[in-house]
Structure 1
Amino acid sequence: MARDPIPADDDNLLVELDRFLGALSTPEAQTASGVSAVELAKLKQQRDTLASKNAVKREQEAAWRASVQQSKEARTDVVALFRKQRRAASNALGMTNDLRARAGLPLS
């Protein structure tokens, strides 16, 4: 028996579900396929649930990507300022080895 080709990703699965539900939407098609209107209604309900969950997933993925970008930008800003201040402190003549060690700077 040939493998039943079900798409692995949600977007393509939704496309295939819509195609299947559309093709079997008439009483004639339901009779020919042996799939009842009640069974199709249940499949449609589950398809709608998947579509809703998929939409939420996409929104959350977009929010996650935006938060990652914001975090990268904040890191870039803090690293630039941190480097400048570390360099200034490291070059300051008044820095003792004890103070350098506590600040995480290389000892002179």
Structure 2
Amino acid sequence: MARDPIPADDDNLLVELDRFIAALSTAQAQAASGITAADLATLKQQRDALASKNTTKREREAAWRASVQESKDARTEVVALFRKQRRAASNALGMTNDLRARAGLPLS
């Protein structure tokens, strides 16, 4: 039995679908293949649905990457400020061990 390789990723699958649909879009090619215009229309609809979902996936992936970066940036900012204030509180002479413990600072 001959192998029937189908691309594993959506982008290459869309390329192969376009190639197949274009090659079989003539009446002569349809007669030779036994694939009808209605069959191709159904395949094209499903190809278009995949392309739409693939675009949505890419947009959401880009948004996710942007949100991850925003979160990292916010963390960097808050950590810098938190460290500065922890050091200041830790070095303050008025800090008692009770207050240090409640603030999560090392006891002196």
TM-score under structure 2 length normalisation:
0.96
Q: Residues of 2 paired with 1:89 and 1:34: CA distance?
A: 81
1:9 positional shift: 0.8
1:34 positional shift: 1.2
Give the gaps of 5 or more residues in structure 2.
none
2:42 matches 1:42: yes
Q: Which amino acid aligns with 1:73?
A: D
Correspondence for 2:76? 76
1:101 positional shift: 0.8
Q: Residues of 1 paired with 2:56 and 2:80: CA distance?
A: 36
**C-alpha RMSD over aligned residues:** 0.8
Q: Residues of 2 paired with 1:49 and 1:91: CA distance?
A: 62
> Once superposed, which parts of structure 1, at least 4 consecutive aligned residues long, lie more than 6 Å away?
none
Give the gaps of 5 or more residues in structure 1.
none
Q: Alignment identity in percent? A: 84
Q: Which amino acid aligns with 2:28?
A: E
2:13 matches 1:8: no
CA deviations on 1:36-69 (whole Å, 9 max, x unpaired) are 1111100000000000111111111111111111
How many residues were matched structurally?
Answer: 108
Q: Which amino acid aligns with 1:12?
A: N
TM-score under structure 1 length normalisation:
0.96
After superposition, where does 1:14-53 map in structure 2 within 5 Å?
Answer: 14-53=14-53
